Amino acid sequence: MSRINYELQDLQAFLAVAERKSFRQAAGDLFLSQSALSRRIEKLEEVLGVKLFERTTRRVQLTNVGQAFLVNVRGALDGLEDAVLGVADLAAHRTGSVTIACVPSAVWHFLPAVLKQFSERFPRIRVRIHDESAQDVLNLVLAGEADFGINFTGAENPEVDFQPIYVERYVLAMRRDHRLAKRRTLSWKDTVNERYISVAKSSGNRSLLDAALAGVEKHPPIVCEINHVSGILALVEAGMGVAAVPGLSVLPERPDGLVGVPLVHPSITRTLGLISRRHHIMAPAARTLFDMLSAALLKRSAKAVRA
């Protein structure tokens, strides 16, 4: 059996380009010129006898073979790093990265305090955060492009471990000067005459709301659709209308002029959870951050229930 002649730096170059999807950005991360990085990738492709990337002037994309190779390279590099550094030296000396995928509300409300603690304990570990739609978060975790995620979908997927951490109620977002802003709750019937802004049908939030309202006779017609909740809130703040959004999006401490009134009849909730690939063994750094988030969020959830 012939020996495959490649170097560790070639695998690191491949991983950097695969994660960044950009030769320019990957070269910056590795402190290489783009031409030197391209030579490493070309050498690796020549040694393996396969094409790992599809390259155009606009984008860099993994081939099918490249996708499969990425999973193996990640595992090999993590295993090599752990072997070199040793478990005993992990906390004080380990370098590397952890990748998290999460819905945007989690970035604002769940991650900052725990990430601050993590970075203080492990200053040499870089954390990457993909704040994406619910479906994209699930896809990133399933593809192994994120170590774990925070999401409200995935519990029904047999390939996913879903650990519930927070039950979030939907509210009607509106300007503080709106005529309904001082109500303690609002039924969907109360909203029928409002100009209603919604996320697009491709959104996980939209799917959840549509399913819950399928049997409700009176609810407002949609006058505008937009892809993300952040865009909805900008339109609501501009006075275009009202919108049903997850409660974490409109907390009382928001600096803008928006409020959220809980919706009832029906009351709609979503459960946020930590998601990871079933039977997948996380690298030590990822497992440490996962456990820190799990402990912090479960503690927060318990306090909310007691309140």
Segment 261-299, tens digit of pLDDT: 999 999 999 898 999 999 888 888 888 899 998 888 777
What distance in Å separates the CA atoms of residue 90 and residue 287, rounded to the nearest whole number? 12
Three-state SS string over 118-151 comes to: HHHHCCCEEEEEEECCHHHHHHHHHCCCCCEEEE
* Single residue among 85, 107, 126 that ends a domain in this structure: 85
- Report which DSSP code applies to 102: E
The domain that contains 176 carries what CATH number?
A: 3.40.190.10
CA angle 57, 61, 66 (to 5 degrees): 140
Say how many C-beta atoms besides its own lie within 10 A of residue 193's C-beta: 8
What distance in Å separates the CA atoms of residue 257 and residue 238, rounded to the nearest whole number? 10
The verdict on residue 137 lying in a domain is no
* Single residue among 85, 106, 132 that ends a domain in this structure: 85
The verdict on residue 251 lying in a domain is yes
Q: Tell which residue, 130, 147, 128, 179, has the closest CA to residue 291.
A: 147
Cα-based distances in Å from 211 to 61, 214, 254: 35, 5, 29
Q: How confident is the model at residue 167 (pLDDT cuts 50, 70, 90)?
A: confident
Q: Do 169 and 80 have their domain in common?
A: no
The verdict on residue 284 lying in a domain is no
Q: How confident is the model at residue 305 (pLDDT cuts 50, 70, 90)?
A: very low
- Report which DSSP code applies to 305: H
Q: Tell me, what amino acid is at 219?
A: H
For 102-151, the pLDDT digits (tens) are: 988 788 778 888 999 999 988 888 899 998 888 899 999 999 999 999 99
The verdict on residue 27 lying in a domain is yes
The verdict on residue 150 lying in a domain is no
Q: Give yes or no for a contact between 276 and 282, defined as CB atoms under 8 angstroms apart.
A: yes
What distance in Å separates the CA atoms of residue 183 and residue 120, rounded to the nearest whole number? 43
What residues make up the domain containing 179?
A: 165-270
Q: Tell which residue, 96, 135, 109, 138, has the closest CA to residue 274.
A: 138
Q: Is 307 exposed, middle or buried (0-12, 13-18, 19+ CB in 10 A)?
A: exposed
The token pair that represents 144 in the structure block:
């192994």
For 33-50, the pLDDT digits (tens) are: 989 989 999 988 888 889
The token pair that represents 81 in the structure block:
């790093």
What distance in Å separates the CA atoms of residue 100 and residue 150, rounded to the nearest whole number? 8
The reported pLDDT for the residue numbered 300 is 64
Q: Give yes or no for a contact between 173 and 258, defined as CB atoms under 8 angstroms apart.
A: yes
The verdict on residue 35 lying in a domain is yes
The token pair that represents 227 in the structure block:
């892809």
- Report which DSSP code applies to 4: P
Q: Identify any residues that bridge with 174 across adjacent strands, giving them in sequence order.
A: 259
Q: Do 80 and 174 have their domain in common?
A: no
* Single residue among 85, 119, 147 that ends a domain in this structure: 85
Q: How confident is the model at residue 98 (pLDDT cuts 50, 70, 90)?
A: very high
- Position of tokens 């601050």? 116
In this prediction, what percent of the chain has a pLDDT beyond 90? 36
The verdict on residue 277 lying in a domain is no
- Domains: count for the chain: 2
What distance in Å separates the CA atoms of residue 281 and residue 59, rounded to the nearest whole number? 31
- Report which DSSP code applies to 58: S
The verdict on residue 236 lying in a domain is yes
Q: Tell me, what amino acid is at 67?
A: Q
The domain that contains 76 carries what CATH number?
A: 1.10.10.10
Q: Do 76 and 173 have their domain in common?
A: no
